[in-house]
Amino acid sequence: MRALFISLILLVTQPVFAEEVVLGLSKDQVSINTNFDGSEILIFGAVKREEPIPTDPPLQVIVTVAGPFEPVVVRRKEKRLGIWINTDAVEVDSAPGFYAVSSSTLLGMSVTETEDQRHEISIPRAIRSVGAPMNITNSESFTEALIRIKTASNQYQLNEGTVSVDEETLFRTAIKLPAALTEGDYQTRIFLTRGGEVVSKYETSIYVRKVGMERWLYTLSRENAFLYGLMSLAIAIAAGWGASAIFSAFRR
Amino acid sequence: MQIYLPIAEVSVNAFLLLGLGGLVGILSGMFGVGGGFLMTPLLFFIGIPPAVAVATEANQIVASSFSGVLAHFKRKTVDLRMGTVLLIGGLIGAALGVWMFNYLKALGQVDLLVKLCYVVFLGVIGGLMFIESLNAIRNTKKGKPPARKKHNWIHGLPFKMRFRVSGLYISVIPPVIVGIAVGVLAAIMGVGGGFIMVPAMIYLLGMPTKVVVGTSLFQIIFVTAFTTMLHATTNFTVDIVLAVLLLVGGVIGAQIGTRIGVKMKAEQLRILLAIMVLAVCGKLAFDLLVQPSELYSLGAAGGH
């Protein structure tokens, strides 16, 4: 009876560690202009709590930034009749165009397998692949390949130990966005964990937008494709004629 | 200096693009090829998405061909009559080619077909040209006069027309067929088709090399302009910023190339083009035969 009462109290006072994130971003809008060459976003914040700092399992912070999710086709080459050709293909239902996970310690130590699965934190968990066609046996190798290729181009980043935490209260990290960035709302999440359990979660968005000439050209190419095509040709003809005129002027 | 390309959605070095454009422009002016068969793989290599590379390349070829053809007009080395006949065939061929491309796309493996097309055509044309021009050079060194043009079955066909600039009096059927064939291949392979057109004009139609270059450039302008519009309106893959960077280098290169080309002997010109064509062929064949370091590749869902 007494044991039941205690566990009941524990249940009522959930979450046990009443800690909350107060967040700051160095910028919540990334503008892609002509000379855009990647960007760095500083993510910092504090842990707000009503009670004294709990002592036992130390506080860990995980920060994730995810670009727009899209289906991706992964193809595999095989040697057929002496040449390498694409044979099998697996469609990954939803994979982020960009994904960065930063943690204050090794990711495996910051969060348990179950919590990772529930909140889709680590890179393999962020990718959703429902199922491969029947004829493909090892579909995991396709998702692994996706991660490998994206990691090589810095589109997927696992930055362990890059979130610095001071006095279990202040934390900060910097996320490098690569130059090859697509437009969209970049979902940003901060997890506070203790002993591998997520105790608090905070979500916000970073808006990545084309601006100025980039915006204008992009819109024109979609909404007024014929005009855009004619403009491209006009520029080509003018440049060709211009170079010819300049060169013949030099020769005279 | 890094520049972000609005349609390709990647950031690249502007000077690298100017340099690439210039290099391909020189070759374009020298040989009368658009340079697409060289530039497109180079663009893939620096990380431009393939669809954008192919479409933008067409736009750039318009510029460098236009610049080149003006230089040839001044020297009166453009056979407008022949160019128009080839162009009529070319446009019919391009339309057929687009239709075939979509049909093959539905069957899958279109990438492979494009690559095999490249290897076969580049290999055959490059090889033939190389042997022929080597023989020509050897003959001139020995002091033998170049072989006179022989009359063959082509001269027996009806609808004869006089092409004064080329010094030919032949039927219009062979040029139209050459135009169609090149148009089909150009559409499937995503290039202007100069590297097929130039040898076809020299060896099949018997045109003098000096006239061939200008005439080839003349008809390439129209075929690639047509392709550019097609890509811009259906796939939205023409990147105007990329095109401008490439064509600024390209038009200057084309002017320089044309001047180099005029100073060179026809056999030398042909042997250089043959070597270049064979080199690209070798690289593509190598990629098909040797195990790639990454067996997997990523693509957008839906398309192929």
Are A236 and A152 found together in one domain? no
Is it the case that residue B304 has pLDDT exceeding 50? Answer: no
Q: What backbone phi and psi angles, to 5 degrees, belong to A105?
A: -145, -170
Are A172 and A216 found together in one domain? no
Which residues on B lie below 8 Å from A82 (Cβ)?
289
Element (H, E) at B3: strand B2-4
**Nearest C-alpha in A relative to B299:** A73
Instruction: Provide the domain count of chain A.
Output: 2
B46–A contact, CB cutoff 8 A = no
CA distance A186 to A182: 10
Q: Residue A13 domain-assigned?
A: no
Residue A137, CB-side half-sphere exposure with 13 Å CA sphere: 0
Q: Residue A120 domain-assigned?
A: yes
Band of residue B144 on the pLDDT scale cut at 50, 70, 90: low
Is it the case that residue B23 has pLDDT exceeding 70? Answer: yes
If you search the block for the tokens 């047509």, which residue do you land on? B226
Is it the case that residue B65 has pLDDT exceeding 60? Answer: yes
The three-class DSSP label of residue B1 is coil
CA distance A43 to chain B (A): 24
Residue A14: count other Cβ atoms within 10 Å of its Cβ: 8
Is it the case that residue B242 has pLDDT exceeding 70? Answer: yes
**What is the rounded average pLDDT of the residues B194-222?**
82
Are A104 and A118 found together in one domain? yes
Are A147 and A171 found together in one domain? yes
Give pLDDT tens digits along chain A (252 positions): 555 555 555 444 444 557 888 888 887 788 888 778 788 888 888 888 877 777 778 888 999 999 888 888 888 888 887 778 777 778 888 888 899 999 988 888 888 888 888 888 888 888 877 666 666 677 778 888 889 988 988 889 998 888 888 888 889 899 888 888 888 889 999 998 888 888 888 888 888 888 888 888 888 888 888 898 899 899 888 988 887 788 777 765
Contact across the interface for A247 and B255, Cβ inside 8 Å: yes
CA dihedral A219, A222, A226, A230 (to 10 degrees): 50
Contact across the interface for A236 and B62, Cβ inside 8 Å: yes
Nearest to B3 among A34, A76, A91 (CB): A34
Contact across the interface for A86 and B74, Cβ inside 8 Å: no
DSSP character at residue B6: T
Does the pTM exceed 0.80? no
Are A125 and A233 found together in one domain? no
CA distance A73 to B67: 41
Per-residue model confidence (pLDDT) at position B110:
66
Which residues on A lie below 8 Å from B55 (Cβ)?
none
Whether B33 contacts B194, CB under 8 Å: yes
Are A44 and A167 found together in one domain? yes
Which residues on B lie below 8 Å from A145 (Cβ)?
294-296
Per-residue model confidence (pLDDT) at position A101:
92
Q: Residue A41 domain-assigned?
A: yes
The three-class DSSP label of residue B304 is coil
Contact across the interface for B232 and A222, Cβ inside 8 Å: no
Residue A215, CB-side half-sphere exposure with 13 Å CA sphere: 9
**Cα angle: A212, vertex A218, A224; to 5 degrees:** 120
Q: Residue A218 domain-assigned?
A: yes
Convert B71-104 to b/e letters by CB count within 10 Å (16 or more is b): bbeeeebbbebbbebbbbbbbebbbbbbebbeeb
Is it the case that residue B55 has pLDDT exceeding 50? Answer: yes
Q: Residue A226 domain-assigned?
A: yes
The three-class DSSP label of residue B162 is strand
User: What is the overall mean pLDDT for chain B?
Assistant: 79
CA distance B179 to B186: 10
**Nearest C-alpha in B relative to A221:** B236
Which residues on B lie below 8 Å from A78 (Cβ)?
295
Q: Could you tell me the residue range of the domain that residue A175 belongs to?
A: 18-210
Per-residue model confidence (pLDDT) at position A246:
82
The amino acid sitting at B27 is L
CA distance A133 to chain B (A): 15
Nearest to A180 among B10, B67, B299 (CB): B10
Is it the case that residue B112 has pLDDT exceeding 80? Answer: no
Per-residue model confidence (pLDDT) at position B149:
53
Are A56 and A166 found together in one domain? yes
Q: What backbone phi and psi angles, to 5 degrees, belong to A61?
A: -120, 135
Per-residue model confidence (pLDDT) at position B262:
79
The amino acid sitting at B181 is A
CATH number at residue A182: 2.60.40.3880
Terminal Cα-to-Cα distance of chain B (whole angstroms): 33
DSSP chain A: -HHHHHHHHHHHT-SSS-EEEEEEES-SEEEE-TT---EEEEEEEEEEESSPPP-SSPEEEEEEEE--EEEEEEEEEEEETTEEEEEEEEEEEEEESSEEEEESS-HHHHS-HHHHHHHT-SHHHHSB-----TT-S-THHHHHHHHHHHHHTTSEEEEET-SEEETTTEEEEEEEEPSS---EEEEEEEEEEETTEEEEEEEEEEEEEE-HHHHHHHHHHHHSHHHHHHHHHHHHHHHHHHHHHHHHHHH-
Are A85 and A204 found together in one domain? yes
Contact across the interface for A36 and B4, Cβ inside 8 Å: yes
CA distance B93 to B192: 12
The residue among B104, B123, B116, B98 whose CA lies nearest residue B223 is B98
Which residues 137-156 in chain A show a CB within 8 A of chain B? 142, 145-146, 148-150
Q: Residue A10 domain-assigned?
A: no
If you search the block for the tokens 């009876």, which residue do you land on? A1
Pairing state of beta strands A184-194 and A19-25? Answer: unpaired
Are A224 and A187 found together in one domain? no
B152–A contact, CB cutoff 8 A = no
Q: Residue A6 domain-assigned?
A: no
Are A171 and A57 found together in one domain? yes
Are A112 and A183 found together in one domain? yes
Are A197 and A132 found together in one domain? yes
**Nearest C-alpha in B relative to A234:** B63
Which residues on B lie below 8 Å from A179 (Cβ)?
2, 4, 10-11
If one compares B3 and B34, the residue with the highest pLDDT of the two is: B3
The amino acid sitting at B96 is L
CA distance B62 to A239: 10
**Interface mutation vs chain B, best among A94, A216, A232, most B CBs within 10 Å:** A232
Q: Residue A78 domain-assigned?
A: yes
CA distance B53 to B37: 11
Band of residue B303 on the pLDDT scale cut at 50, 70, 90: very low
**Interface mutation vs chain B, best among A36, A233, A237, most B CBs within 10 Å:** A233
CA distance A20 to chain B (A): 37
